Structure formats: C-alpha cells, structure tokens
C-alpha cells in the first residue's frame, strides 16, 4: 500500500496558489438518478483546472539551486497554465513547450498567467512537444515538470481527496460515500486521490473514467502492464494520452477499483448535466466523472447512494459549444437520428410528418432527387430514451416507411447531417459505370488544425486521383475532422493503400465506404 503518499499529501505546498474548492450538491441530477451526486469543483481554481496543485507542489519543493536553473514543461493547456502560475509565484524562470496545433485561447491563457514565461510552439502532438522539451531541458539545464508521472505532482493532486473527506464530514446526513469518480488521462489525479483514499477509507470505491477513444489506463489494467495506444481520440483533449504514467499505474493497480469508458455523446450529455445544476460549462475531460457515474448507476441499478464526481476543469473553447450542444441530447438518449425512405412524389413529405405526429422534430434534411425514392435525414426528440425510439421506428415501419437508425453512426453525426443534398454522377448503383472503372472510396480523416495541413495532405496524394466529396468541420479543438471521397481506378488500389499507410501518423483515418449513411445520402 502507498502509505508514504499520506505524509506527502498532508505536507503538500498547494494553497499558496490553489483554493479549497467546494463540494457542491447537484440537486437536479441527483433527483433524476435517485442518488446523491456531489461535484468537487476544481473548475473554480484560478486556472480553471486542478493542474496547478501538482505543478506548484513540485516546483515549490525544489531546492534553491534547482529553482535557479528554471523549470520547463510540455503541455497543450492546463498543466502549462499551472506551471506558468507556479513559476510566477515563486519568481523563477519558466519555459513552456506547446504543440503548434494548440488553440490560441490556451496559448493566451498561459501568457496571461505569466508574461515572463517563454513559450515555444513545436510539433503537432503532445508527444512531439515533450520530446522537444526534454531536448531543451538537457541543453539549458532546466528542471522538467512532468504533468502526471511524478510523486510530487501526484501528491499535489491528492490534496483533492484530503479536502473531500474533510468537507464531506460536515455534510448533513452524510451517508457513506459509495464511490469517487475521477477522470483519467496520464493518471496523476486518480493516483493521488486513490492513494490517500484507500489508506484512510478503504471501503470507498475509486473509479476512473476515460473516453472510449483514449482508454490507456483501462487497457493497462486489463493486460497487466502499460500499453501505448496506436491512436487516441481528441474530443476530450485534456485526457488524450497514449500511455498512462509509470508511477500512476503502480498506484492504480493497487488502489483503483475499476475504470469505465464513455463515448463522446455521453460526455456531452454530462457537460449539459453539470450546466443545468451549476450554470458552469465543464470541458469534456472535466465532465468525464459525471458521465461515468451515470453509466455506473444504470449498470448497477443503484439508488439512495452517494457519489462524488471530480469536475476537473472548465478550459473549453467557445467554438466547441455548438458541437457539444448537438451531441448532448444524443448522449442523454433524448434524440433519435433516423434515415427514412419516402416515395419521391408530391405529398410524401407531408405524409411522413403526419406519421411522426406531434413529436418534436429537431432537424429535417431533404433534397429532391430524380429517383423513385427519396431519403430524409430526420432528428426527433424522445420522451423515454431508447424505448421510445424503438416505438417510433416500429410505428414508422408499420406505416410503410423503411427506417435506419443513425443515432450511433459517428459519420452521420459528424458529417452527413450537414451534407444531405446530392450525389456524384457515375457512382450510384443506378448509374452506368465510369469508363475508367474508378471507384469512390470514402474516409474520415483527422487533420491537425494548423496552416498548411490541407496542402500537405493534397501534396502527398497522387495527382491523378480525384476528390469527389469533401466536408470539413472545425470543433474548436487541436484537430479538425474531414470526410473525403476519393475516386481511385481499380488498378491503383494498392498505390492508394500505400498512400494511406504513409500518412496514418499525421492524418489518422477511418474507412467509411461501407457506411449505411453513405449508401443512403451520398451515393
């Protein structure tokens, strides 16, 4: 057991810069889930994230000679702000290396915390920025402040657990805490909370929550050793880590009860839940714990229990809010997205609306096509989640309408709903085959949000290949999402696959040629 962390946590130097954040009730969510839900509001810290605790504790604990060398860190956001603030408070030199894809708002936030800190933009990912930071550390003799894989950083984050148990002792009718839910990226936060909790309150479950697109601790615990993920999703950018830290993993193996995975829609729904109760907007990583609580309660069928969620941060870009709002109702299972086939003749649209009845329609996408049938992409509000959706689908089918459920189709949610309108000639099953036997191949790509990204992609693609579909959406993240159709002659299929293999590190991609949404709306 990691008892030595108790003393390290109790002696941590965090309150020169951090505040003791409140443990707030979430009455609306508690009533809906029939359990007491409490939020540990780390989004209220001066840097709107828990990260300053660990960063300051590490830097404040350095000896005078080490401080005189200055500190260096690699980060795409919250850790960078914590290091910058700590360095300013302690009046020492700071160098922050950030990926070139870091949104301007986060770069400006670091500058606002410490205008004397040097900021270097390098690479497209955190890993590339970290490698550069380690090189500069050696060249300049500075002290590297790791965002999570450091005992002093872990101890600083562990002060959150110390506060939770002290605060909960003052809660009226304080029933036993059933579980504390913690967002997981590199693992520093959950390691600190778990090490403190399991020594003093071993019966309280410590449950980690990760995006299903970045399950580094989940996979490590399942296999029994740390793994490096081939790719990670970037929606919850604060926890988009390919490998859990070594020290956090050692703690987690002994002290973490389980790790849950949640999807993007569930994260967005949790952001809305937090907003409804607090009128604050959590960043995606900050809402992971609430999403995990909801999933756990549904799985276990629990009621009248007490759950605590770490609301870890609120550094969300404003231009991501539209995307979050679009996905929140899907995550709460309050909206269904359906592809409905109707006869292509006057009056069909009206008849479909009558079949839907008095339900609230959230979106309709339709365009005239010179065919016997037309496809309509429709969003419909649900009253009772999946059960209501199945009733609706059954009713439409009984009314004579072929229906496909697109609610969980990622390509449909990201792209197709914004693209319904037309099809390319020569690729529909009803069209004559093109003379050069070209076939359209559809892929989703992840593009770094930096100048020249599209040009770099096109330059590496063979000149004779024709782009027949292209849809791009910026969600305010470090990476954009692109849907591209490329027409490839049969005799160049192998060359195209080689192209995909060569760009996979810079432009992660997913094949969508067989996706039903593509068949219905774009072919």
Residues belonging to the active site? 51, 312
Hunting for tokens 């004397």 — which residue is that?
116
Residue 155 has which token pair?
């101890």
Nearest CA to 2 out of 180, 153, 192 is that of: 192
Nearest CA to 197 out of 184, 207, 183, 187 is that of: 207
Strands (E) in 312-413, as ranges, are 335-343, 361-365, 373-381, 403-405
Residue 435 has which token pair?
């003379």
Q: 71-74 and 335-343 as β-strands: parallel, antiparallel, unpaired? A: unpaired
Q: 205-211 and 177-183 as β-strands: parallel, antiparallel, unpaired? A: parallel
Please give the Cα distance from 523 to 512 (Å, whole number).
12
Secondary structure (3-state) at 458: helix
Numbers of helices and strands, H then E, in the chain: 20, 18
Residues 269, 296, 200: CA angle, nearest 5 degrees: 115
Enter the DSSP assignment of 224.
T
Alpha-helical segments (H) within 172-215 = 188-200
Enter the DSSP assignment of 128.
H
Secondary structure (3-state) at 359: coil
Please give the Cα distance from 507 to 523 (Å, whole number).
25
Please give the Cα distance from 228 to 212 (Å, whole number).
15
Residue 35 has which token pair?
């359990």
Please give the Cα distance from 230 to 296 (Å, whole number).
27
Neighbours of 499 (CB within 10 A): 17
Nearest CA to 266 out of 213, 314, 312 is that of: 213
Neighbours of 171 (CB within 10 A): 14
Hunting for tokens 């096109």 — which residue is that?
458
Residue 218 has which token pair?
């989940």
Nearest CA to 183 out of 225, 138, 136, 240 is that of: 240
Residues in the chain: 523
For residues 113, 117, 118 and 119, what is the CA-based torsion angle, rounded to 10 degrees?
-20
Q: Which residues contact 121 (CB under 8 A, 6 or more apart)?
A: 97, 98, 99, 100, 102, 107
Nearest CA to 248 out of 189, 202, 207 is that of: 189
């Amino acid at each position: 057991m990691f008892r030595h962390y108790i003393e390290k946590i109790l002696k941590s130097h965090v309150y020169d810069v951090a505040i003791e954040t409140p443990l707030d009730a979430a009455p609306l969510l508690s009533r809906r889930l029939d359990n007491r839900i409490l939020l540990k509001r780390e989004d209220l810290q001066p840097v709107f994230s828990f990260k300053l605790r660990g960063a300051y504790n590490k830097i404040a604990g350095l000896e005078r000679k080490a401080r005189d060398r200055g500190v260096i860190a690699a980060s795409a956001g919250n850790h960078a702000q914590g290091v910058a603030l700590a360095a300013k408070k302690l009046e020492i030199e700071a160098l922050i290396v950030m990926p070139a894809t870091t949104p301007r708002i986060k770069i400006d936030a670091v500058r606002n915390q410490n205008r004397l800190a040097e900021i270097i933009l390098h690479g497209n990912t955190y890993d590339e920025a970290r490698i550069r930071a380690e090189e500069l550390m050696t060249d300049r003799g500075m002290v590297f402040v790791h965002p999570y894989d450091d005992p002093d950083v872990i101890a600083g984050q562990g002060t959150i657990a110390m506060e939770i148990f002290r605060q909960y002792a003052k809660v009226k009718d304080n029933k036993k805490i059933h579980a504390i839910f913690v967002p997981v990226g590199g693992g520093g936060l959950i390691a600190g909370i778990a090490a403190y909790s399991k020594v003093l309150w071993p019966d309280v479950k410590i449950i980690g929550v990760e995006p299903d697109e970045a399950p580094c601790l989940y996979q490590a615990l399942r296999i029994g050793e740390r793994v490096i993920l081939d790719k990670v999703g970037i929606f919850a950018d604060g926890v988009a880590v390919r490998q859990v830290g070594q020290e956090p993993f050692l703690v987690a193996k002994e002290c973490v009860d389980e790790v849950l995975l949640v999807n993007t829609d569930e994260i967005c729904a949790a952001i809305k839940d937090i907003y409804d109760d607090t009128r604050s907007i959590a960043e995606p990583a900050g809402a992971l714990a609430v999403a995990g609580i909801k999933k756990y309660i549904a799985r276990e069928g629990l009621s009248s229990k007490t759950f605590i969620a770490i609301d870890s941060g609120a550094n969300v870009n404003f231009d991501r809010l539209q995307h979050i709002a679009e996905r929140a109702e899907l995550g709460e299972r309050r909206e269904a997205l359906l592809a409905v086939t109707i006869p292509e003749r006057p009056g069909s649209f009206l008849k479909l609306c009558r079949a839907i009845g008095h339900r609230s329609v959230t979106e309709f996408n339709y365009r005239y096509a010179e065919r016997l049938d037309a496809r309509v992409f429709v969003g419909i509000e649900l009253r009772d989640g999946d059960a209501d959706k199945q009733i609706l689908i059954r009713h439409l089918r009984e009314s004579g309408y072929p229906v496909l459920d697109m609610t969980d189709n990622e390509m449909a949610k990201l792209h197709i709903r914004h693209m319904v309108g037309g099809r390319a000639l020569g690729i529909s099953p009803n069209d004559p085959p093109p003379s050069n036997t070209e076939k359209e191949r559809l892929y989703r790509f992840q593009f770094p949000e930096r100048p020249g990204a599209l040009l770099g992609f096109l330059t590496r693609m063979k000149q004779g290949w024709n782009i027949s579909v292209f849809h791009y959406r910026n969600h305010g993240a470090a990476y954009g999402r692109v849907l591209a159709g490329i027409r490839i002659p049969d005799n160049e299929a192998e060359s195209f696959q080689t192209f995909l293999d060569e760009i996979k590190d810079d432009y992660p991609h997913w094949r969508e040629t067989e996706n039903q949404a593509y068949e219905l709306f774009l072919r």
